[in-house]
Structure 1
Amino acid sequence: MSEKRILLASLLKPINDTRLYEKLGLSLSKISGVSIHITGYEAPIPAEAPANMHFHPIFRFSRLSAGRIAAQRAHYRLLQHIQPHMVIVSTHELLLPTLLYKARYSNVRIVYDIQENYSLNLRAQHNYSWPLKHLLALSIRTIEKMTAGSIDHFLLAERSYAEELPFLGDRYTFIENKYKAHQELSALATPVSLPTTGTLRLLYSGTIAEEYGVWEAIESAKQLQAIRPASKLTIIGYCANSDTLAKLRQACLALPFVELIGGDKLVPHRDILQQIEKSHIGLLPYRPNASTFRCIPTKLYEYMAHGLPIMIQENPLWQGIVAGNDAGRAVDFRRINIETLYHELSTTNFYKHGIPNAIYWESEEEKLLQIIIPLLSQVQEK
């Protein structure tokens, strides 16, 4: 085989994931003489993928099961089969089998794509019992520290990780989750204002969880009903917590103006984008939490790219982005005055200076290629 092979690997993300495939994968597929392999959780293979891109949907298991251990073995076998020259790992659990492969086949470069501060997320959120979440957090940080010296470069999805993660050294580059369009967007008519008649469509998209404010989104929609009865809230995304999902389904049955799309299964990203295009207000009612406080939600870039007015939880980082681009309002969803807020939103023009260029993926693609191409040139063809 004459081409150089890059494997992008994630244990929990689907093979058609926005960052794994649409951003990193498609950007790297532009490198001459390279074949791209993507392994991840089982999902439909993108029909429009370029010819030099190959998919290996080898993972399918519940989040807490022995299947996660078997998945690491499957990953190692795939490494031996593909024999990549570079592996970009997006899940901490795949670090050890990847470095075992590197020990056997030294002619390889390893890049760790850090999409989340996994250890902090476990400690700050409430998805597991106190002893279990701290044990898991400790094990993750131990693996990351043990393997850090053998990793050639780190990609950081958030700028805050440079301060939060003590094992990075100076081998990192910020590759943020900015918006990657499926096709060239037609110029949006700006400024944007809310419709004065008809249904007012609110949107909550992405990960469905209490920490991300799903109940605050529903409460806001309930209050808005008293002011503008022709209002509707769409909740679209995946909910990993079965108790939260059961309660959410019960809530939707009692509230006909709340629609749930997905819930127990991953929702194709294009379906989410279609809902963004149909909506009038995007909700980001994140509860204040150490795991999200210094991170920029990907959906913020998505909403802005489509000219969607935004209601976002008060946060100095987010407020600067939203206010600086006339994109919406920062509010405290715990003490919201919906009547005052609705009057302000309905009399305001948003995006008065157009959609900002800084939110798009192209700038991140350029940085990515500047890192990966030199690293790849250091290894010989197998």
Structure 2
Amino acid sequence: MDTRILIKECQSLQKAGHEVVYIVPNAEDAEHFGVKIKGVTSIAKNRLKRMMNTTSLVFEEALRQDADVYHFHDPELMPIGLKLKGKGKKVIYDVHEDLPEQVLSKQWIPTPFRKSVAYGAKSFERYASKRFDAVVTATPYINERFKTYNPNTVTIHNYPLLQELMKGMDSAETASPTENKQRSVVYLGGIYLLRGIKEMISSVEKVNEKLPVTFRLGGSFAPASLEDEVKKMSGWKYVNYLGFLNRQEVKEELSHADAGLVLLHPEPRFVVSYPIKLFEYMSAGLPVIASNFPLWEEIVSANECGICVDPLNIEEIAKAIQTILDNPEKAAEMGKNGRRAIEEKYNWEKESERLIELYERLS
């Protein structure tokens, strides 16, 4: 049910008249939004064997489909993409993140080996990408590297769907928070140390020294042990943990919050990323409190839709939260500015046009 792959890309292609089959590990055969889901299941136990066995099963199913175009999203499927090219197929590699930078922060790879593994990953990406028919990248930064490998490289941002998260945009509750409304800030997404979970909890605790505010937290912890660790923090008493949320529940949560937090740590891969959470908060009409990376500051400042802070500075984060809560009219204006920017620039409907054009060029 990946939002970028199924709901945005597959569904947009299906609406444009293509027959779309989505091959997915450990899923049952089904149909969603006119897209056929074809599941493959690996019984291998450990990570390496499961990866190798699953990719083999994906390749076998891909051949059975005898498709005109193959579009894959996982770096471990690059060898499968090359095999399909060897059989005369057209292949697109969709790059969501900077793989070499991602490898450098993988906890399961022993630290002494990370640089050499990252170098090997980058070298193989260069070799494979030159042979694919096209490369799709999620950010301009990643695009710069892949353009040197393959001139048919297109950036298709993972911006939100225009209508998905706009519930409550015109309601009095959203536009003008009241004294009776329970004030809250929200973070919905993967919950990791590097995504600022401890700083968010500590900053909300700091704000509660002056005024009551709840931190509404949705998503899954990784690793699972992190949940027990953060629940021991003194600020956990101000957290309302919601667990994993479906898209409808995400919409509901965003419609009631006062601000959205996206406070990733200054890791190299994050600094140059376009975080979908930032744009989802804007789409829902929420003022954002975001990490002060130059790329993010450019978006937030240009659109006057929030406040950028040092994501490692609890005092600074707390001050930003308090500023939003103390100034509801200004906060509502920020929210409206963010929503306007989504409607004018940062939406999937515009991005999908480039995806469809790419397929038309390949067919």
Q: Same fold (TM over 0.5)?
A: yes
Of 213, 228, 239, the match for 2:221: 239
Alignment partner, residue 354 of structure 2? 367
Letter in 1 for 2:217: I
Question: How far 1:84 sits from its partner (Å)?
Answer: 1.2
Alignment partner, residue 350 of structure 1? 334
Alignment partner, residue 128 of structure 2? 147
Question: Is 1:29 the equivalent of 2:14?
Answer: yes
Q: Give the Cα separation in 2 of the matches to 1:240 and 1:187.
A: 31
Alignment partner, residue 273 of structure 1? 251
Q: Give the Cα separation in 2 of the matches to 1:135 and 1:178.
A: 33
Alignment partner, residue 58 of structure 1? 40
Aligned counterparts, 1:97-116, within 5 A: 97-104=80-87, 106=88, 108-116=89-97
Alignment partner, residue 39 of structure 1? 23
Q: Give the Cα separation in 2 of the matches to 1:256 and 1:165.
A: 46
Q: Give the Cα separation in 1 of the matches to 2:125 and 2:273.
A: 20
After superposition, give the CA deviation of every residue in 1:86-119 in whole Å (9 maximum; x if it has no partner): 1111011112123213313x1x210111101111
Question: Is 1:292 the equivalent of 2:258?
Answer: no
Question: Is 1:306 the equivalent of 2:284?
Answer: yes
Structure 1 contact 179–359 (Cα < 8 Å) conserved: yes
Alignment partner, residue 10 of structure 1? none
Q: Give the Cα separation in 2 of the matches to 1:97 and 1:260.
A: 40
Alignment partner, residue 214 of structure 1? 197
Measured at CA, do residues 93 and 287 of structure 1 come closer, stay the same or move farther in structure 2, by a change above 3 Å?
A: same
Question: How far 1:318 sits from its partner (Å)?
Answer: 0.9
Query: What's the secondary structure of 1:35's corresponding residue?
Result: coil
Q: Give the Cα separation in 2 of the matches to 1:243 and 1:83.
A: 43
Structure 1 contact 119–137 (Cα < 8 Å) conserved: yes
Of 325, 328, 341, the match for 2:303: 325
Structure 1 contact 227–339 (Cα < 8 Å) conserved: no
Alignment partner, residue 143 of structure 2? 162
Structure 2 contact 310–317 (Cα < 8 Å) conserved: no
- Residue identity over aligned pairs, in percent, reads 19
Structure 2 contact 259–289 (Cα < 8 Å) conserved: yes
Structure 1 contact 223–338 (Cα < 8 Å) conserved: no
The gaps in structure 1 that reach 5 residues or longer are 1-15, 377-382
Q: Give the Cα separation in 2 of the matches to 1:339 and 1:84.
A: 52
Question: How far 1:339 sits from its partner (Å)?
Answer: 6.3
Alignment partner, residue 379 of structure 1? none
Letter in 1 for 2:266: P
Structure 2 contact 28–37 (Cα < 8 Å) conserved: no
Measured at CA, do residues 55 and 339 of structure 1 come closer, stay the same or move farther in structure 2, by a change above 3 Å?
A: closer
Question: How far 1:327 sits from its partner (Å)?
Answer: 1.4
Letter in 2 for 1:92: P
Question: How far 1:81 sits from its partner (Å)?
Answer: 1.3
Kindly report the root-mean-square deviation, in angstroms, between the aligned alpha carbons of the 2 structures: 2.8
After superposition, give the CA deviation of every residue in 1:345-376 in whole Å (9 maximum; x if it has no partner): 22224245552221211110111111111202
Query: What's the secondary structure of 1:170's corresponding residue?
Result: coil
Structure 1 contact 236–267 (Cα < 8 Å) conserved: yes
Size of the aligned set, in residue pairs, is 351
Question: How far 1:152 sits from its partner (Å)?
Answer: 0.6
Q: Give the Cα separation in 1 of the matches to 2:251 and 2:165.
A: 14
Structure 1 contact 125–211 (Cα < 8 Å) conserved: no
Query: What's the secondary structure of 1:227's corresponding residue?
Result: coil
After superposition, give the CA deviation of every residue in 1:245-284 in whole Å (9 maximum; x if it has no partner): 44234449x723213333xxx6433333332222221111
Measured at CA, do residues 245 and 119 of structure 1 come closer, stay the same or move farther in structure 2, by a change above 3 Å?
A: farther
Alignment partner, residue 334 of structure 1? 312
After superposition, give the CA deviation of every residue in 1:160-208 in whole Å (9 maximum; x if it has no partner): 1123447533211110011115659468239945543432121111121
Measured at CA, do residues 217 and 128 of structure 1 come closer, stay the same or move farther in structure 2, by a change above 3 Å?
A: farther
Structure 2 contact 104–114 (Cα < 8 Å) conserved: yes
Question: How far 1:145 sits from its partner (Å)?
Answer: 2.1
Alignment partner, residue 18 of structure 1? 3
